[in-house]
Every structure is written in C-alpha cells, then in structure tokens.
Structure 1
Amino acid sequence: MYYNHLSRKERYQIFVLLQAGKNKKEIAQLLNRHPSTISREIERNSKPNQAYQAHDAVTLAKKRRKNSGNGKPIESSVWRQVEK
C-alpha cells in the first residue's frame, strides 16, 4: 500500500483550519486527503484535554518515526538456515 505522510506544512494547515472552525471533512477536502487521515492525525497528535497543536504534532510524529525501528536486519547466518 502506498501513501504519503503528512508534511509539516500540512500539519500547520490543519491547525489553522481547525482554528478557523473548519471540520475534519472540510479540512480533508482542502488538503486533498481522506477524512480518516485527518481524523487520525488529530486524534494521534492531540494531547489530552488540549486542542491540536501543529508544533506538538510535528514533534510527536518525528519521535514515532525515530522509534519505529522498522525491523532489525536479519543476519546472514539466519538467512542461510532459512534457505536450507
């Protein structure tokens, strides 16, 4: 499945559009994104009892990306065993 992560610019646009009173569906249309993408972004990057903040969202996204690990490389000795 192919997708693009939200950019820093898009996160700031979401923040401004929320402040302007736009709902998630309207924001999605303006950014040419799926409404669920916007909804997940707001849920994932909002602190409890606080409104969505673009700066915090960018910081949290960077942390998640850094800590994702995307799996560790498999050693060649293990690959040899698998191939046998």
Structure 2
Amino acid sequence: MSYSHFTEKERYVISHLRLAKFSLREIARRIGRHHTSISREIKRNGPKYAPDAVYWYYGIQPVVEKRRHKARSHRRQNYQPLVEYVEDRLRMDWPPEVIA
C-alpha cells in the first residue's frame, strides 16, 4: 500500500469530526484512511501544550506545507565524523559516487 499525505480537505474533515466528538475509527471510516493514520496526524499536528485543545485545520496547513519542503539533510550535516570523512575524500579527488 502506497503512502499519501493528508490533503487540506481531509484535515478539514478531521478537525470538524473531532470537534463533534467522533471516534478515530469513525473518522477514518468516513475519509477512507486507517485509524492509526488519523491518530498520528492528530499527535503530529495537533495542539502540543494543551491536550484538551481542538485540532484546527486552518492553523495546521501552513505548518505542514513548510515542513514538507524543508530539507532533511541537516541531520547528516551536523554529524561531524561524516562531514570530515566526506571532506577528506573530496580533497583526495575521490568521485562523489565512490564516497557515497
């Protein structure tokens, strides 16, 4: 089964059904997703400091779009032994394919 991101419309439906006190399984059934996907979406993008707060789609969408386009390579760039290894090999004129 392939992975697909939640759409803005799906987040809209999730936020309104959560507000209406529907269960995660019922929300999942209505939008055609697995209930654990709904749970992860709410945990990942829902309110962080107030567990009783409401999951609002319009506040989430800009954050999600920004996160989606953020580079994930920053973790590798912060690992100093790896950075030194790559820099040393580049100074020795190794091709990037061999270093990788």
1:7-66 C-alpha deviation (Å, 9 max, x unpaired): 000000001111122111110010110001000111111122121110122122112112
Q: How does 1:1-84 map to 2 (within 5 A)?
A: 2-47=2-47, 48-49=49-50, 50-67=53-70, 69-71=71-73, 77-79=95-97, 81=98
**AA in 2 matched with 1:31:** I
**Rg larger for:** 2
**AA in 2 matched with 1:78:** P
TM-score, structure 2 as length reference: 0.67
Residue identity (%): 34
Give the gaps of 5 or more residues in structure 1: 72-76
For the residue of structure 2 that corresponds to 1:22, the secondary structure is coil
TM-score, structure 1 as length reference: 0.78
Higher RCO (CA < 8 A, seq sep 6+):
1
For the residue of structure 1 that corresponds to 2:69, the secondary structure is helix
**AA in 1 matched with 2:69:** K
